[in-house]
Structure 1
Amino acid sequence: MFDSLVAATTDTSGAGAVESWSRVESAACARRVAAMAAMFQAACAADGSGERDLWCTDTWDAVAAHIGATLRITHGAASNQLLIAVALHERFPLVAAVFAEGLITYQLVRTVVQRGALVVDPDALHELDRLLAEALSNREPMSMSTLEKTVDACVAQVDPHAVHRTETRARGRSVNVSEDEDGSGMATVYATLFAHDAKAFDARVDALARTVCPADPRTKDQRRADAIGALAHGADRLACLCETEDCPAGENPPSTGVVVYVIAHQDTVDERPAPPSPAPAPDLPDVPDPADDVSPGENAEPSGTCEGSESDSDERSSNVVTQPESRDRTANKPADERASLDGEPPAMFARPLRELTLTEALTPTPGRLANLRPAALMGGPFLPGAIACRASQGATITRIVHPSQAPPEPRYRPSKKLADFIRCRDMTCRFPGCKAPATNCDVDHTIPWPYGPTAASNLKCLCRRHHLLKTFWGGQSGWRDVQLDDGTIVWTAPDGRTHTTTPGSRLLFPELSEPTKTVQTSRVPLSHNGGLTMPRRKTTRAQDRANRIQRERELNEAS
């Protein structure tokens, strides 16, 4: 069937080619979704699958991790695609057949699965599958709103209590933070609130924006944006940027419990202005680790993970970790660069446009923010040097020391100095596709202790989910990993395919990926994690899903 769809694109052009290849794309996506469902079915049929359903990292997590590593997507995205795949083939086989012919898109299939999730009676589900397959195979072009109404109409026809009536706009309120991927170091926040909460938020932001003196260089919009940062850090006022000694706006806001980790080069941090009175960095509590190579609790103290300090003000909210080696500074004007972040934008051209040559008009003015070396948020986006310099104001600086050829440490838990280096080198979880920040990760021995040393060449960051996956789903038939001296990890999946991940700092801070001392190991026994137990659930994932569906149906019946 798929080959015939591809053959149908021959000698097509224009709109005909667009339509033909769109159908091929949908048919290919259907086969990818079917492969995901088959992976889960095979995992459920394996020996011991029933026992693992109560594991904290269960069969579902293991399959989702395999899919995420293969597609290089996060665990959440892989889990969502697996949910659509399994529900489609177990609950809507006729719709799946229409999808396989390329007649409907993945977006439409996802809507069918989501809007029909509350139908539990087998006869009603079979009838719903038939109605939807018939309606969608010969559908007219429709918007997403019309599509949802069509699916809801079919659901109401077979099971009135299964329509998502309680899914009103109020229940759909949310706050989404999207990090801009253009390298600007900015982020966008979208929020849908109750009207009275939105009114209070607007008034609160305005009040914070007015706490600076009239000499502050920022515009009102810039101060309102900075006020949201102050609100997030729990500050009761903005720090004024007038830089006058007798500023009437008072001292900087007090330090708060919010910590933001930034990795920056020494050159960038050295250009920051001296803060009036930097706050000391409080110690953060250790996060216990439920499982590791031999004993639970391999999680280096997060208090020094890159830099642990609380912000002194909204503009001075980021903690900065610097690299050990400082380069000769080029001649630049950091004060001008920082100032260019605030106030009205400068004129685009120094002379009227009519006096410029064509080359001058088409050549952009060199940016004033390009002199400082860029930084990066821990596990987050690229951060231009000027913004990193602004973030460093009032922050505590922790110097990161490359261990070079230093010998291993004679203990299981790495020192704060070594753990800081590992987190700054890796920046994120090192499992393929995972983007969990290193500050939220465990420091794992690639070769388990005591067979493998506590050294940089044998340590990496793993989030708790993938740490448990490696520990309890590893072995000869599970996930295996090999670490190179420069921090590169080569993962071998249960199907024998390999996936390579490199340290997250390699692009911006290649010094951190310089090779460290080669690991010397002893023979690792086949069963090296005896005594460890996987954290367990009280109920299985399937039971949790059934309970949620039952509560939703009860709300519909009561309405």
Structure 2
Amino acid sequence: MSDTWTDLPGEFLAGVDPAHPERSDTATHMKRFGSIRHGEAYLAWCRYESIIAVYDQLVVNTHGGFFIDRYTEMATRVCREAAITRYQGEQWVGEALCLRDRLPKVATTLRDGILSRELIQTVISRTDLISDDAVIAELDTEIERILRNRKGAWSKPRLRDMVDRLVFRHDPDAVRERRKEALDKRGVWIDNFVDGTGEITGVMAAENIRIAEKAVKALADTVCAHDGRKRNQRNSDAMFALLTGTAYECQCGREECDAEVPDPAEVVCAVTTEVIIHAVTDPDTLNGGPGIGWVDGHGVISGEHVRDLAQRPDATVRPVTPVRTAPTRVVAERPTTKTSDDPDSPVEPSSADAPPADMVIVYPGAQSADPYRPTAACADFVRVRDGYCTEPGCACSSFASDLDHVAEYDRTNPAHSGATSSENLNAKCRFGHLHKTFGDWIDTQYRDDEGHLVTEYRTPEGFVILGDAETLEDFFPNLRRIRYEQPPQAPPTPRVITGDDTPSTSNRLAQKHARRRAERARNRKQRLADETEPPF
């Protein structure tokens, strides 16, 4: 009897005929992608379940072992059956035991296809150092609740940050001690390879890593466009030049090369004084209260680490809201405050004259001279709020991304569509921005009943893909109380016609925008109908 699978359960197929997959349309196959992803997670959960069963049979319920202990005997079965290394087999066993003994509720999200095995590994690794049984039980409950109730996709950086913020709030003393131990272990190591190359590894504080990276890339990018090295090769050569103080040169080989390569020492001085490391926190944490911070390119950091950064002589501390710009108004909004013992509940501002928790403060979002352009404060706020590119699964920093109007800005009639406001702007990496601009995909951004900002992407064939499940609003809930909106009396954008082909191009663009507006209106109508009449 063959062990080969000749068919899949119906849940995997999602309506696709396995004998004739070409007869199903693209939208159906998109649904099948999701079904297969859920099935893969379920199979991983089944493997963990079997590992636990074999572990109980061979280790827990069996005593002794002559030359080989029972755990090794059990792990050997796992690695040899799958033809994997002993390390990989023991990793499977360790993960299975962790899910059973420490994270049983999180394990059910793997069974139900909410997380993949790779993402489960992220949860396990970020909670691994928690030794208090009561704390790990609380974390297990809280993580599972968020994963089940939050609408959206979980990329690895977003999930890592979500777990970290809960760990930092549940066990701040342990986090502080672990950071001290980690800094004590900083150092530099080398490893020689057999092919005439080697590797150098340096462990240091997160902010110093960012500064060092900027210095390497700044020097590497000074060569001309004809240099034949790849980016990583240039980075390697630039790093050597910085470490040794030797010259770094363009390798294009042309006599007329116009590259202006600076001395490595000058690069270090320039980068040290000019590099910007974006760290986000709230005033209470900055003033010594309990809380967390978030560092662009690294993730969640402790409150103590935040204060260390703020006390650096080269640090600049700025509020998210513009200092010299008064809010246009304060409006009431449905409260999103939760119970006081909920770690996701909003932290009230330290200012004594702050508005109530159910009020939203509105600032101007567009430049007065050009309503298409957001103000500097609005642009900074959107990047702080998003943290990452809003494309599902993209780990690109929002501070290295473009800002995109979710509903397209209508340059012909600015009042018609696409206001320049924080609720209609989000961060997209350059590829995501270009794909949105020149492709036929449609994205939508709105707030759900809990006040969370939800992003959805609709493919040309009508398949909806959810955006990321979290933004930095979930780390710092007071961000939800800030809005940037386009002034109602913003001046119109001038329209200049320069040739006979301009009207047709303009008409095509107008038709594209109108088509997208109509599609968004249909989507919104359907979403509201689904919320009003939930399926039986």
Please give the TM-score of this superposition, normalised by the length of structure 1.
0.35
Please give the TM-score of this superposition, normalised by the length of structure 2.
0.37
Which has the larger share of helix?
2
